[in-house]
C-alpha cells in the first residue's frame, strides 16, 4: 500500500476520495476512527492509501485535479 495523503481536513479528504471512487481506484482511509480516542479534537491526521499498482494512476489523477500540493512525497 502507498500513502498518498495525510490530512486533518475532512473536506479535502472527501473530495479526494470522491475522485478516486469515480476513477475506480481502490483506496482506504487509515486512522478515521481515531477521533473517538482523541476526543474529536482533530489533531491526528487521517491517511489515505492506495494499492501500489494504482499509485501512479492515483497521483496523476490528483495532480490533474489540482491536489499536487497535498500529496505525500
Domains and CATH numbers, the chain: 2-70 (3.30.70.790)
Average pLDDT over residues 35-64: 85
DSSP assignment letter at 71: B
**What's the whole-number average pLDDT of the chain?**
90
Q: How large a percentage of the chain has pLDDT more than 70?
A: 86
Place of cell 491517511: 47
CA–CA–CA angle 14, 1, 24 (5° rounding): 50
Record the pTM: 0.86
3-state secondary structure of 11: helix
7-28 pLDDT per residue, tens: 989 899 999 999 999 999 999 9
Amino acid at each position: 500500500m502507498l500513502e498518498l495523503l495525510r490530512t486533518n481536513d475532512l473536506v479535502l479528504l472527501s473530495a479526494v476520495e470522491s475522485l478516486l471512487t469515480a476513477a475506480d481506484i481502490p483506496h482506504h482511509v487509515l486512522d478515521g476512527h481515531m477521533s473517538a480516542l482523541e476526543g474529536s479534537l482533530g489533531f491526528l491526521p487521517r491517511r489515505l492509501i492506495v494499492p501500489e499498482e494504482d499509485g501512479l494512476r492515483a497521483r496523476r489523477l490528483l495532480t490533474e485535479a489540482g491536489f499536487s500540493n497535498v500529496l505525500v512525497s
